[in-house]
Amino acid sequence: MRIGMALPQHGEYATRESIARVAREAGRDADALPIIARANATLADSPIPEAGCTPFAGTVAQWAEDVDWVTSLGIDHLFFAIDGPIERRLHAMAELQRLLR
């Protein structure tokens, strides 16, 4: 089952429970259903104020806060889509890994 959704940090979003309910209604084993999210990440050199910031937009430190938030939603796996030069993307992911340890 694939459900596409945007996850606004403040407001309505699909919860693990609501996804499980839809899975059960479709005759699926909700406990075996992995929840995978894609972070369409935008890397900034300086922090973006929270009021104007969407999830995974900003510095790597802001991304780390967003990972904590996504984890609290019950997301099992998170993958990143990042634009820009490969060296910058690799550096950002290494820094994120360091911050999340």
Per-residue confidence (pLDDT) for residue 71, from 0 to 100: 87
Q: Read off the tokens for 51.
A: 């009021």
Examine residue 49 and state whether it is found in any structural domain, yes or no: yes
Examine residue 5 and state whether it is found in any structural domain, yes or no: no
Q: Which domain holds residue 90?
A: 34-100
Q: Which long-range contacts (CB under 8 A, 24 or more apart) does 59-62 make?
A: 60/92, 60/95, 60/96, 60/99, 61/99
Cα–Cα distance, 71 to 76 (Å, whole number): 7
pLDDT tens, residue by residue, 3-60: 444 555 544 456 777 888 888 999 999 888 888 888 999 999 999 988 767 889 999 9
Examine residue 15 and state whether it is found in any structural domain, yes or no: no
pLDDT tens, residue by residue, 85-94: 999 999 999 9
Examine residue 6 and state whether it is found in any structural domain, yes or no: no
Examine residue 41 and state whether it is found in any structural domain, yes or no: yes
Examine residue 50 and state whether it is found in any structural domain, yes or no: yes
Q: What is the pTM for the complete model shown? A: 0.77
Examine residue 42 and state whether it is found in any structural domain, yes or no: yes
